[in-house]
Structure 1
């Protein structure tokens, strides 16, 4: 039985835009609910940032990146607090804290700006405080052959840069994670892995 003081299981996802992050977590959520597991999912953080006037995508700044990281942390804590003590508690983080670093570094490269070393390190430390909290970290892989809906009007180069920085951050710090491609089998394996961890850790 999970006690009130025990931390919930956290599954985070990161990756460039329109690579199936949200849909992947929705699948995991549906499967967990089918097993009777109390679960909650964070999300829409980019939309909320834009709503209060913060720059996004290739316009990301130190301030907007810090807000996204801090708000993501707050969202995960709030989600965990809303879960009732029971045989299972799971928080699905749509955009793990490290995701914001990928978008920021890609934005700086896209704008050909020279990074402020101290600011980048400060943001890195803030994001990496959350890394140990994820029981499973999923990283989507960009497949440029998969078409994106025209309404999104994404900058193709920036989208590729975010993907590159995502996997560079994970590789440089040797962070344990599972890559998820556009292949249905890869996505199925990610869902299965999440279920394995969540159901095992929450056995009564």
Structure 2
């Protein structure tokens, strides 16, 4: 007797730091659990990255970006595996794979540097390795919102990440949903996710 294939729905989010990515994923997770839809959410990448002696933020290198990409992919695979017995599996990727490339491009521009084409292509292949997301959100930076003092962010780098996030998605022709800081935009994003998972759940 063979086990019937299960549906796997992958929803990702990307965008510059402190723009509500994790909050959006947590709210979607809570709504899905409230509807008894099996879901796993990846996350805490920043906390784990702090334990790895690699450059961060505007100092990102090829190696640090490779680590972030590989970790994101591994986290999503593990999250899906935890739901193997469920008829519908939803994985919420708090930091989609493409996010790492946007941060890397922004770091290079911030430093005024470049890397060999072979390195750029290798990172691009790694970002392309997983199947496309069924739904991808990209947050939009609102410079009018204050950032907590404990976050010692470089303002220019934060803006560069926002720019490269949306530029990269346009270059790659990847469908995505822009999510602004406005309440209505965030509620619409959550509704997008619920509709996708609700539709898939009926298959």
Whether these two folds match at TM > 0.5 is yes
- Number of corresponding residues: 201
Structure 1 position 139, deviation (Å): 0.4
Matched residue, 2:194: 195
Shift of 1:49: 1.8
CA contact (8 A) 1:14 1:138 kept: yes
Residues 39-188 of structure 1 mapped to structure 2, 5 A cutoff: 39-130=39-130, 132-188=131-187
CA distance in 1, matches of 2:45, 2:98: 13
Structure 1 unaligned spans of 5+:
none
- TM-score, reference length from structure 1: 0.94
Compare 71-80 and 6-15 and name the one that shifted more.
6-15
Alpha-carbon contact 1:88-1:203 (below 8 Å) kept: no
Asked whether the equivalents of residues 41 and 94 of structure 1 are also in contact (C-alpha less than 8 Å), the reply is: yes
Change (3 A) 1:118 1:13: same
- Do 2:6 and 2:86's aligned partners in 1 also have CA atoms closer than 8 Å? no
> 1:199 Cα shift?
1.2
Q: Distance in 1 between matches of 2:5 and 2:53?
A: 37
Q: In structure 1, how many angstroms separate the alpha carbons of the residues matched to 2:107 and 2:134?
A: 29
Q: Report the Cα distance in structure 1 between the residues aligned to 2:177 and 2:189, rounded to whole angstroms.
A: 7
Q: Aligned in 2, Cα 1:4/1:158: closer, same or farther, shift over 3 Å?
A: farther
Residues 4 and 64 of structure 1: CA distance in aligned 2, closer, same or farther (over 3 Å): farther
